Amino acid sequence: MDQSNKINRREFIGSAAAVAATISIVPSHVIAGSGKIPPSDQITVANIGCGTQGLREMGDLLQNPKVRVVAVCDSNKYSTGYIDWSANGIRKVLGDDTWWDNVPGIPGGRDVGQAYVEQYYGKNKPAKKYKGCASYEDFREMFAKEKGIDAVKIMTPDHTHAPIALAAMAQGIHVVTHKPISNRLLEGRKVIEKAKETGVITHLLAWSDRPEYRQLKAWMDEGLIGDLTEIHNWSYRPVWQQWTKRPTEPKPIPAGFNWDLWLGPVPDMPYHPNYTHNVFRGWYEFGGGSVADMGHYSLFPLFETLGITKSPLSARAFGTTSREEINQVYQWVKNDVAFPASSMIKWRFPEQAALPAFDLFWYDGGMKPFACEELEMDGRDTPEEGLMLVGTKGKILGGFRGENPVLLPESKMSQRPASERIDSRAVVRNTDAWVEAILSGQQTPGSFIRAQTITDTINLGAVALRANKKVDFDAATLKITNDENANKFLTRDYRPGWEI
């Protein structure tokens, strides 16, 4: 088709609304349910994934007058084995303290997601009822039937992020996803290339605007720490159980749960509850471990601020394991299925446009760097979580995401302007940047096309853990150059029909 004859989804909806307006005038509160913004000016969103985090974040979608949730999708119909991290968040959003109060446990699944959406929008209806949120088990069926979706929000386990994002972008649908883009490096690259090819708006939710990082960059630009040599980042995660072997005892698949669909691209394996819900992150097949869960939040905006656009040259990792008794002797358990309970990863980065070559260190599960000399001078230890930049002349320390950054030793701060003291608790974060981006047709700072370095970095760390050796990476050929066998960890064996 000639480019001049193309019309995008938003332009089509806007044109259709303009034509409709010449035929009849309908009060906006009847159309939109919000009483403020008519549907032609709203982004129609399908929420894929109605589990713990999907439902926790759905309230923000519902309360945003520029968004309209028109469909939900989840391979689970309904169950009560979820976690509530938000202190009855659904009840607060609905203003209903009786929300499913007769249900034991924490409910989740597509039935719950649909009920949540329709009860919220029904609050603004005269009869307090609303029916306008479609519900699907399979995202592929949803894309085939729902032609009015502007954007999808992907809130599923990590291993299905890539196939859902690719399917959406193939139809010109904008994509917002929880981290990671994919838990395999080659999949992540293909998703990013698809984003560039289609030009749809994409957004990785781990991005956030961080004035703390702009401050530490200003200190670096002033030469206060000299040339950057190391970045250290550490988290107390994981906060979920992680195993060293696959479960062997058979378990029945719960009613209403499509286990084959939940597996998605992963080859067949027997169902077990140790794989699903909040614990999926610990498995190499389904998750990305603590570094994918948390490292995106701290490192993605840091990479953006410092101009780190070239992927690492190598990675080396160590992880704790466990031991089992064999003939009254405790022996190490070979773990090739799950992330360790704690780990340390070191990446070597090449010279960047404005930075020399440097090393990045990650620690989790209680591991962290020893207190540096400057902290010991102040009688302090390394905090439980943190971010530290080390240069040839000094250091900067902040919270895990750089909160409340200070020069070390902190006595240096007495010589600095008061404006350089940032109270991170008072900083307002724009978590809906993707909404404005879609409405304006402009990519966000958290776009997939800006996330190649962080995606490569996180997934290369997992490769190093699984290879149990230093791995050298060629970002141009997408190969591990010093261990041919380690290349299998860049991708996965695909279930037939799910190949990427």
H helices present in 4-109, as ranges: 9-23, 28-32, 52-63, 89-94
Q: What is the mean pLDDT of the chain?
A: 91
| pLDDT (average), residues 468-478 | 98
Pair 336, 480 in one domain: yes
* Domain boundary residue, one of 136, 155, 174: 155
pLDDT band at 36 (very low <50, low <70, confident <90, very high): low
What is the tens place of the pLDDT at every residue in 172-200? 999 999 999 999 999 999 999 999 999 99
Given the structure tokens 């403020």, which residue do they identify? 36
* 284 φ/ψ angles, rounded to the nearest 5 degrees: -60, -35
Distance CA 253, CA 210 (A): 43
Contact 45, 70 (CB under 8 A): yes
If asked whether residues 111 and 234 sit together in one domain, one would say no
pLDDT at 217 over 50: yes
208 and 298 Cβ atoms separated by less than 8 Å: no
Cite the beta strand spans of 74-139 per DSSP E. 134-136
Residue 134 has pLDDT above 80, yes or no: yes
Per-residue pLDDT at 311: 98
pLDDT tens figures, 293-328 = 999 999 999 999 999 999 999 999 999 977 777 888
Q: Which domain holds residue 390?
A: 211-243+283-429+448-490
Cα–Cα distance for residue pair 166/200, rounded to 1 Å = 11
CA-to-CA dists, residue 22 to 17, 28, 29, 32, 147, angstroms: 9, 15, 18, 18, 23
- Based on the fold, state whether residues 221 and 146 are members of the same structural domain: no
Q: What share of the chain is helix, strand, coil (3-state, %, to 5)?
A: 35, 20, 45
CA distance 102 to 434: 37
What is the value of pTM for the model shown?
0.92
Domain boundary among 87, 122, 155: 155
Hey, what's the torsion of the CAs at 173, 176, 182, 188, to 10 degrees? 60
Q: What is the C-alpha to C-alpha distance for residues 181 and 165, in angstroms, rounded to an integer?
A: 8
| Cα–Cα dist 47/50, whole Å | 8
pLDDT score at 431? 81
> What's the pLDDT score for residue 55?
95
- Say how many domains are in the chain: 2
Residue 338 sits in a domain of what CATH number?
Answer: 3.30.360.10
Q: How is residue 338 annotated by DSSP? A: B
Reported as a single tens digit per residue, the pLDDT across 403-437 is: 999 999 999 999 999 999 999 999 988 888 999 99
Same domain, 424 and 309: yes
**pLDDT for residue 84:** 79
Say yes or no: 390 and 486 in one domain: yes
| Residue ending a domain, choose from 130, 155, 180 | 155
Q: Are 453 and 146 in contact (CB under 8 A)?
A: no
- Residue 111: other Cβ atoms inside 10 A: 18
pLDDT at 76: 98
Identify whether 327 is part of a domain: yes
* Residue type at 108 in one-letter notation: G
Helices (H), 124-274: 139-145, 161-170, 185-198, 211-221, 259-263
Integer Cα distance of 442 and 454 in angstroms:
21
**Confidence at residue 25, expressed as pLDDT on a 0 to 100 scale:** 34
H or E element in which residue 460 lies: helix 452-467
Do 226 and 85 lie in one domain? The reply is no
In a domain, 407, yes or no: yes
